[in-house]
Structure 1
Amino acid sequence: MSNLSRSTRTRKPACRSAGGIVAAQSRRAAEIGAQILAEGGDAVDAATAVSFALGVVEPWMSGPAGGGAMMVFRADEGRAYAVDYGMRSPAGLDPRDFPLSGEGVASDLFAWKRVADDRNLEGASAVAVPGTVDGIGLAHGRWGRMSWADLVRPAASLAREGLSVDWYAALIIASSARALSRDADAAALFLEDGVFPPIGSWTALSDIRLPFHRMADTLEAIAAGGPREFHEGDVGRELARDVEAKGGSLRFEDLATYRAALQTPLSFAALGGRLHATPELTAGPTLRDTFAGFSAEAGGLAGLADALSAAYETRLSTMGDHESPKAPGSTSHFSVVDKHGNMVAMTQTLLSVFGSKIVSPSTGLLLNNGIMWFDPEQGRPNSLAGGKRCLMNVCPVLGERSDGARFALGASGGRKILPAVAQLSRMLLGGADLDTAFHAPRIDVSGGGTIIADEMLAEGDLAALRKRHEVRTAPRTVFPYAFACPSAVMREGSENSGATEIAAPWADAVAEAAGSA
C-alpha cells in the first residue's frame, strides 16, 4: 500500500486568453513558444521553437535525435494535416546482430524476447534513424512565417545556459544513473564523477547546472544551415560517425535519405463531432477503433474501458505492439493554438527515458533507442529488419465539436497515451472545458489485463469497472506515472484555453503577452 497522502488535492487551472497559447511539458519551453506567438509567429513557428527547446530542458524525453508525429489545423483552409517523422531502422541493420539470449523478456518498454546484451535497448546498436528535425522542418517550410534561425536560436541559448537541476531533474537522472554510467559521454554530461546523479542539498535551492555547450553549438549549426543540416550537413556526418564508432549501424546515408511525410489525416466521426489523427504506424487507427466500439448511450467509463480493451486486442494481434503497460516511455507532447485559430498537436520521442543511454560526443545530443520498437523474433507483424519504419504509440489528435469548438490534444507515456487521449477526447466532444476534463479522474487501459484507476474515482464508477475487469487503484503522482501526461489547447469562439497534466511539476500552459503583434 502506498505511503502517500490521500487527502492532498492538486489543481492546475487551465490558461485562458484571446491570444495564442502553448501547453507543454516544460513551462520554460512553453514560454519560448508564447514569445514567438507574441512576435507575430504562426502556431507552426511556435511549435518549431518549442520542439527544439524541449530537447534542451527535458533531453531525456525527446530531442533532435528522435522521432514522432504531429497534427496541424489550418484555420484559413479549414482543414487538418498529418506529418509523420517517425524513426526507421538503418538500411544496413542486420537482424542477425540481435540474437535472442534465451533469458526471458526484455527489461524495458516492450515484452519482446530478450536480446543478448540488450543490444536493441541500450547503446549505439539500438539507435534508429531520427526524423524530428526533418518533420518540424517540413511543417515550417510549408506554414512558417518567421525565419528558421530565429526559431532555433532560443533553444541554443538555453543550451548555452545549461540545464538547472532541480529535484525533478535530479530524480529523472537518478532513475537512469546506472545505465548512463555505461557510456563515457553520457556519464560526463549527466553524472558527477561519471557515477553519481547531481543532487543538491535538500535544505537549499539548487544551483547545479549541466553544461550543454556542445549541444548549443549543434543547435547553432542547425539554425544557420536549416533543417537539412541535421541530415545532410556536418551535424549529420558527425552524428553518424559517432554512432558508427560506438558500434551502431546508423550511417550518414541513412540520415541523408530520410524524409518526413505530409499525410492525409485519419478522420472519423465520434460522439457527434469529428477527430483527426495520424493514419499510419501510430495509435491513430487504434483511437478510431476505440470510438467505433464505444456507445455513448450505453457508455460511461466502463463502456469506454470495454472499447479500449477491444481496440488494444486488435492492435496487439495485428500490429505487433507488445509494449509493457508498466513502462512510461520517454516522450514530449505539446499543443499550440495561435490567435487566428491555427493549431498544432506535436509528439516527439527518444522512446525510452534517455533513449539509448548514449550521447554523441561531437553533437552533444542524446540518441534514441528506436530499434527497441521492433520485435527481435522474425516472422512477426513488427519484426526487426533493415530500412523499416517503426510502429509508434504516439497519438496527436485534432478534434472538432458540433458547436464549432476545436481542440489539439496529445500525451506522453507509451501505451498509456491512447487511453488518456480517448478519455479526454470523449469529455471534450461531450461539451467539457479543458479545466474540467484535465482534473477529472482517469483510467489506464493499456492491454495488460488490469485496469489502473485513479483512486479519486467515484465508488459507482469503480464498481461498474470491477463488474467486467480486474481493477487496481493508483494516485496521480509525479513519479512513477500511473497515467499518461497530456497537454491540450482549445478554441471556443474567439477564446483560447490550454491545459497540462495536473501532476506534472514542470508542465504548464502559457499565453502570449496581451497587446502583442
Structure 2
Amino acid sequence: MKKTILLFYFFILLWNPFQSTAQTYGQNGMVVSSNTVASQVGVAILKKGGNAIDASIATAFALAVTHPEAGNIGGGGFLVFRKASGEATTIDFREKAPLAASPNMFLDGNGKLIENSNHDSAKAIGVPGTVAGLYLAHQKYGKLPWRELVQPAVDLAQKGFTMPWGLYFQALSYTDTYKSNEFLANYFKSDTAKITKPGELWKQPALAQTLELIRDKGQDGFYKGEVAAEIENFMKKNGGIITKKDLEKYIAVERKPIKGTFKGYEIYTMPPPSSGGTALIEMMNMMELANFDSIPFNSTKYVHLITEVMRRAFADRAAHLGDPDFNKNIPIEKLISKEFAAMRFKNIDKNKASVSDPSKFGQSYDGNNTTHFSVVDKDGNAVSMTYTLEDSYGSKMGSDKLGFIFNNEMGDFNPVPGVTTTDGQIGSAANIIAPEKRMLSSMSPTIVAKNGKPYLIIGSPGGRTIINTVFQTVLNVLGYDMPIDKAIEAMKIHHQWLPDTIVYEKNLLSPDTKVALEKMGHQLQEIDTLGELMGITYLEAFKVYVGVSDSSSPDGGAAGY
C-alpha cells in the first residue's frame, strides 16, 4: 500500500499540469543555473566522468558567456562543497579592495559620500576573484583536466550561442539606456552592426581570446601577462586604481563552512566575508523554537514572526560581520548558537513590530544582480555556488580587448566610517574599506544534508535580499514540508533591519494580511519579485534528484541525467 501511494505521488509530480514551475529529474546528476545552455554544459561534464566541482567550473565559465549580467570572470563569489563522504568545505573568491584603496576614498572634502561614486565609477571596481576561485577548487578537488572544463565556454564565445529572448530584451534596454557607454553600446553586437536578435548566434571573439588564455595558463592567464596588463591599462585610462600588482597578489581562500542544524537536518553554508551563512543559521535556530502548527504559512502571524527574526539577524550582521582576515574577533560561534537564538527569540513581541534603532546596529548596501547554481553528481558530491558582478552588468565597464564586464563591488563596503542612517547606510568598523580587504556579502550558497546525504542544494541572486529568500526557501522545505518547486515559487518577504520596511512580492500577500501588519506597526513596500532561486532536492524513495529553476529567471533551467 505504501509503495502504491509513493508511486501515485511520483506520478503527480511528473504530470501535474498545474505546477508553478518546471521540474527536471536525474538519477545520476543535476545542474540548475540561470541559463539552460550553461546547465547543459555542466551536465555534459558529469557525463564525461567529471565530478560536481568539475561541472561547477564548466558551468561558471559558460555563464560568463551566456549570462553576462551576473555570470562573470570580472567579479567574485563563494562556493560551498560537500563531499559524498560528508566532509564539507568552502572556497572564498570574493573580490578585494585594491592596494590603493582607503576608508575615505569615496568622500568629498567635507566627509560626505560623493553620490554613487562607490557604484558608478572605475574606482568602484574590486580586484576580481572568480578565475582564482575556480582554479583553486580545481587544483584541490577537480577530476578532469582544466582545459576540458574551460573549453566549452571558449566554444560558446567563439562560435556563438543562440540569443534567447530574455537576454535580447536586456540588450535592447541596456544599449538604449547607456548610449554614451561605447563598450556597452557595442557589447551585444555580433557579426553585424546591430544587436544580435533572438535565433541568431551571438559571438564574443574578445572574450573567447581571454578564455583561451585562462584555458592554457590557468589562473596566470588572467592575473598575469597580457590580460593583467590590459586591466591595468584600462584602469589608468578610466580612473580606476587596480594595478598588475593587485592582480598578482590576489588569492582565493579555502575556509571552514558555517554549520547548523534544524530538526535533524544538517545545514552547511558560507562563513564571512559572506554574511549569508551566519544570518541563515541564526534565523533557522530562532524558527526552530516556533510552533509551526499554530503559524499557518502566509498568515499574519507568519509574516510578523519571520520579519522579526530577519530584523534581529540583520542587526547582528551589521554590528559584527566583515572580512575575517581583518576582524579577528567576529563572534560567529555565539551568533549561530542555539542559546543566542533563544535569547533573540524570547524578546519578540508576538503582537507588535519592533523598532530598528540606527544608533545601535545596521546593514550595508548590496547590489541586486548575482547568479547562483546548484550541482550534484552521481556519487553525491554537491556544490552550491553564488557569484556576482554586484549590480546588473556590474560597473557597466569593460575593455574591448578583453570582452568581459568589471564588477562594482567596492559599493559593498561601508562607505562613510562611523555613520549609520535609517535608509540603510552603515558605518560599523567591521566592513570599512582597507587595502586587500574583502567586502561583506549577502551571498548564501547552502547545502542541506539528511541522513548523511545531500537533501537540498539551494541559493539565489538578489543582493541584500539573498539571505532572506534562501532562508524562507529552506524553511519552506524543512519546516513546512513543501516540495522544491512550491518552496521556490511561494511568497517571499524581505526585512533587513534598516530601512525598517517589509518588502513583499506583488499579488502574493493578501490585502487583509497587509492591513493587519500595518496595525501591528509594520511599514510595507511592494516589489515585483524577490530572488531567482536555483535548487536541487533528493527524493529518497525513488533515488532521483529534482532540479528547479525559479520562474522569474527567464533563461534559467535545470539539466539532469
Per the normalisation by structure 1, the TM-score is 0.85
Change (3 A) 1:304 1:197: farther
Change (3 A) 1:165 1:328: farther
Query: Which of these residues, 256, 261, 284, is aligned with residue 248 of structure 2?
Result: 256
Query: Which of these residues, 79, 89, 102, is aligned with residue 81 of structure 1?
Result: 89
Is residue 2:439 matched to residue 1:390? yes
Whose radius of gyration is greater, 1 or 2?
2
Aligned to 1:376: 415
User: How many angstroms apart in 2 are the aligned matches of 1:415 and 1:175?
Assistant: 24
Query: Which of these residues, 90, 93, 101, is aligned with residue 93 of structure 1?
Result: 101
Listed as ranges, the matches of 1:346-357 within 5 Å are 346-357=385-396
Is residue 2:80 matched to residue 1:71? yes
Change (3 A) 1:207 1:507: closer
Compute the displacement of 1:53 (Å): 0.6
Listed as ranges, the matches of 1:294-443 within 5 Å are 294=287, 295-297=289-291, 301-302=302-303, 303-319=305-321, 322-323=363-364, 329-379=368-418, 380=427, 381=429, 382-401=431-450, 406-430=455-479, 431-443=481-493
User: How many angstroms apart in 1 are the aligned matches of 2:533 and 2:520?
Assistant: 27
Residue deviations 1:53-93, cap 9 Å, x none? 11111112130110010100100x31211111101110122
CA contact (8 A) 1:41 1:145 kept: yes
Is residue 2:282 matched to residue 1:289? yes
Compute the displacement of 1:371 (Å): 1.3
Change (3 A) 1:250 1:473: closer
Q: Secondary structure at the match of 2:235?
A: helix
Residue deviations 1:218-241, cap 9 Å, x none? 111111111232123332232232
Where is the helix percentage greater, Structure 1 or Structure 2? 2
User: How many angstroms apart in 2 are the aligned matches of 1:470 and 1:96?
Assistant: 35
CA contact (8 A) 2:460 2:466 kept: yes
Amino acid at match of 2:37: R
User: How many angstroms apart in 2 are the aligned matches of 1:378 and 1:98?
Assistant: 11
Compute the displacement of 1:469 (Å): 5.6
Q: CA RMSD in A?
A: 2.9
Change (3 A) 1:197 1:307: farther
Listed as ranges, the matches of 1:10-409 within 5 Å are 11-75=20-84, 77-95=85-103, 97-100=105-108, 114-115=113-114, 118-162=116-160, 164-177=162-175, 180-190=178-188, 198=195, 206-207=198-199, 210-282=202-274, 283-294=276-287, 295-297=289-291, 301-302=302-303, 303-319=305-321, 322-323=363-364, 329-379=368-418, 380=427, 381=429, 382-401=431-450, 406-409=455-458
Compute the displacement of 1:407 (Å): 1.6
Compute the displacement of 1:127 (Å): 1.1
**Which moved further from structure 2: 214-223 or 372-381?**
372-381
Query: Which of these residues, 491, 503, 507, is aligned with residue 452 of structure 1?
Result: 503
Amino acid at match of 1:221: L
CA contact (8 A) 2:458 2:533 kept: yes
User: How many angstroms apart in 1 are the aligned matches of 2:367 and 2:165?
Assistant: 19
Change (3 A) 1:67 1:167: same
Aligned to 2:349: none
User: How many angstroms apart in 2 are the aligned matches of 1:322 and 1:163?
Assistant: 40
CA contact (8 A) 2:371 2:460 kept: yes
Aligned to 1:6: none
Query: Which of these residues, 528, 547, 561, is aligned with residue 498 of structure 1?
Result: 547
CA contact (8 A) 2:371 2:388 kept: yes
Residue deviations 1:309-352, cap 9 Å, x none? 2211222344487456xx86121100001111110000010001
Where is the strand percentage greater, Structure 1 or Structure 2? 1
User: How many angstroms apart in 1 are the aligned matches of 2:107 and 2:452?
Assistant: 55
Compute the displacement of 1:179 (Å): 6.2
Question: Gapped runs of 5+ residues in structure 2?
Answer: 1-17, 297-301, 323-361, 419-426
User: How many angstroms apart in 2 are the aligned matches of 1:182 and 1:80?
Assistant: 47
Change (3 A) 1:340 1:463: farther
**Which moved further from structure 2: 172-181 or 374-383?**
172-181
Compute the displacement of 1:495 (Å): 1.8
User: How many angstroms apart in 1 are the aligned matches of 2:384 and 2:454?
Assistant: 16
Change (3 A) 1:57 1:102: farther
Q: Secondary structure at the match of 2:37?
A: helix
Identity of aligned residues (%): 27
Question: Gapped runs of 5+ residues in structure 1?
Answer: 1-8, 104-112, 201-205, 476-480, 513-517
Per the normalisation by structure 2, the TM-score is 0.78
Aligned to 1:110: none
Change (3 A) 1:73 1:403: closer
Change (3 A) 1:129 1:179: farther
Change (3 A) 1:423 1:403: farther
Amino acid at match of 1:99: L
Residue deviations 1:121-177, cap 9 Å, x none? 123221111111111111111111111111111111111134644442233234444
Amino acid at match of 2:290: A
Q: Secondary structure at the match of 1:359?
A: coil
Compute the displacement of 1:244 (Å): 2.5
Q: Secondary structure at the match of 1:30?
A: helix
Change (3 A) 1:198 1:10: farther
